A and B are shown apart, each in its own frame.
Chain A
Amino acid sequence: MSTLVPQGRRPQRLTIGRIGVYAFLLTAALFFLLPLWIMVMTSLKPMEEIRLGNIIALPAAMTFEAWSKAWSSACTGLECNGISVGFWNSVRILIPSVILSIIAGAVNGYALSFWRVKGANVMFGVLLLGAFIPYQVFLYPLVRIFSMTGIYNSLTCIVMVHVIFGLPTMTLLFRNYYAGLPIELFKAARIDGGGFWSIFFRVILPMSTPILVVATILQTTGIWNDFIFGLTFAGRENLPMTVQLNNIVHSTQGERAYNVDMAATMLAALVPLVVYFVSGRWFVRGIAAGAVKG
């Protein structure tokens, strides 16, 4: 080695450092993947194997029985029709909630960015502060209001709640996005004679595709994963999947069927996971956009 003349590429030092980096990352990856692995494995095993066997082992005899049970016959409280009921409930809650909350956020963001309305910024400030306050502070009076107007415990109720509590984030998202658009666009449209709504639909909305994607991802994940509003406002016929999952797992009826529990959990996790994997970079962009407060 002593007669080696240095030329060309440096010899690979830092091998220990490199190994350390990968070791750390792989260990972390293990930590993050383990629960998912266990959920999937458990859901594919029969109960005897779960009781006797090893929680991380592959199933000896893979069976999807737990999954079909979870879907169609698990007991979610008084009924035993499986979590499929919750799935469709969640869908029925999701679609109108996402659409309406995005529309609301977009219109608000647009109005706040381009039009100067007196007091609008104060309202926006209060809205943002409201996002930090725990829901429990608003919950009971809200229940009373819905009760008095007769829409408590209905689909309308839960959709309205999602829209209301989605307003701070959605408005912030769209406002920040629109604030980044060149104001000349808007001014040119005004000179051309555009009014509030025509400019919105013809100029601004067509330019909103990226933020619409981000908003959809955020709202879909947030609303699908919601528990507390579903529990409080949806009413027994409309309980979302998260609530039903909780009921299945904590049900006191009969013996704990861990494989069914896990299958149900996987089913509940499916939609957000799919959204996550499909959206890729957009998911991260959504976090970044939502994270930049004010």
Chain B
Amino acid sequence: METISIRAPSVTPSGTKTRRSVRTRLPAAIALLPTALIVLVVFIGCMLWTVRLSFTSSTLLPKLDWVGFAQYSRLFANDRFVTSAENIVIFGVLFIAGCLIIGFLLAVFIDQNVRGEGLFRTVFLYPYSMSFVVTGVAWQWFLNPGLGLQKLVRDMGFESFTFDWLVNQKMAIYTIVIAGLWHGSGLTMAILLAGLRGIDKDLWKAAKVDGIPTWRVYTSVVIPLLRPMIVTAVVLLATGVVKLYDLVVAMTLGGPGIATEVPAKFVMDHLFERNNIALGTAAATMMLITVVIILAPWVYIRYIRQDGRHA
């Protein structure tokens, strides 16, 4: 039907590009070149280089020798690293689960036609706009055993109240969790609220006519419908978990002792302060592997299997 032929950039049926279409696409390719370079050099190149360095014995400066998996065995014998791995798991599970639960409850309750909804949303979300350093410093002060929460409650009459988690080896990591929940629940709430709002209003009406109790509507109808948003939230939160560094540095500096060490901090310390590049890059590689293991199934489900379905 087209009597006017429009030369949009595309490949002609025979598979060869016409000279004109290549020329018109050139500026686009050139525009993308810097990014392509960065992807190559930084995202791929630096990553490979880090992995390579983990197989060396570099200390202050990189040395391109080969020591096999020696650094890795040292890593797993290293108390600091093992603790950091445990901590990140504890933090990850509690943080993600907690944010989802708190975020969901907040979203559900806000969605109940409450007065001042805008105000509530502002209050719940503002912590997300703060940096982790600010968050860490604020909570470190609030949970200060001598002058903070503990003293407050004691002054109110509860003489035997203790909340010295911040300086308690076993409990310190949970203070990080609390600060993290304070920071991230608002974000989860925002995402889930958007999902809730996207649910067909007629669905609620139908449930009312059918006589389904409200809580049952949430469990049987709403939460299944929210699955994509929940996945999105989990992915976002998970990226935050792996990157956990600022919060720990600001709040506890990894202490008391090594009680709140996290992998990111382990890497940074060994790369820049302890002059052990090889060990640091080994730990970084371990972080990379963990992320890949977690991401791979998600990428597969989202992208590869979908293409299969369409093919």
So, do A and B actually touch in the complex, CB under 8 Å?
yes
A residues at B contact (CB < 8 Å) = 21-22, 24-25, 28-29, 31-36, 38-39, 42, 50-51, 54-56, 104, 107-108, 111-112, 115-117, 120, 123, 126-127, 129-142, 144-145, 164, 167, 171, 187, 190-191, 195-197, 221, 224-228, 232, 242, 245-246, 249-250, 258, 261-262, 265, 268-269, 272-273, 275-277, 280, 283-284, 287-288, 291-294
- Chain A residues contacting B232 (CB-CB under 8 Å) are 291-293
Select from chain B the residue with minimum beta-carbon distance to A26.
B120
**Is A225 a contact of B132 with CB atoms below 8 Å?**
yes
**Is B50 a contact of A140 with CB atoms below 8 Å?**
yes
Distance A253 CA – B249 CA, assembled complex (angstroms):
18
**Is A140 a contact of B137 with CB atoms below 8 Å?**
no
- Chain A residues contacting B134 (CB-CB under 8 Å) are 225, 242, 245, 265, 268-269
**Is A164 a contact of B42 with CB atoms below 8 Å?**
yes
Distance A268 CA – B129 CA, assembled complex (angstroms):
12
Distance A235 CA – B204 CA, assembled complex (angstroms):
57
**Is A291 a contact of B236 with CB atoms below 8 Å?**
yes
Report B232-272 CB contacts with A as 1/0, cut-off 8 Å. Answer: 11011001001101100110010000000001100110011
Interface size on B, residues (CB 8 A): 99
Output the least CB separation between B135 and chain A (Å).
Answer: 8
**Is A25 a contact of B246 with CB atoms below 8 Å?**
no
**Is A245 a contact of B137 with CB atoms below 8 Å?**
yes
Select from chain A the residue with minimum beta-carbon distance to B44.
A126
Output the least CB separation between B123 and chain A (Å).
Answer: 5
**Known A35-B138, A133-B288, A258-B147; contact A287-B28, beta-carbon cutoff 8 A:** no
**Is A258 a contact of B141 with CB atoms below 8 Å?**
yes
Residue B35 lies at the interface, judged by CB distance under 8 Å to chain A: yes
Restricting to B37-54, which residues have a CB under 8 Å from any CB of A?
38-39, 41-47, 49-50, 53
Residue B221 lies at the interface, judged by CB distance under 8 Å to chain A: no
Select from chain B the residue with minimum beta-carbon distance to A228.
B245
Residue B68 lies at the interface, judged by CB distance under 8 Å to chain A: no
- Chain B residues contacting A21 (CB-CB under 8 Å) are 109, 112, 114
Closest 6 CB pairs of A and B: A225-B131, A196-B27, A115-B28, A141-B46, A276-B129, A130-B43
Output the least CB separation between A148 and chain B (Å).
Answer: 11
Highest count of chain B CB atoms <10 Å: which of A104, A195, A265, A292 = A265
Distance A280 CA – B122 CA, assembled complex (angstroms):
8
**Is A140 a contact of B277 with CB atoms below 8 Å?**
yes
**Is B250 a contact of A134 with CB atoms below 8 Å?**
no
- Chain B residues contacting A224 (CB-CB under 8 Å) are 131
**Is B46 a contact of A137 with CB atoms below 8 Å?**
yes
Distance A187 CA – B15 CA, assembled complex (angstroms):
22
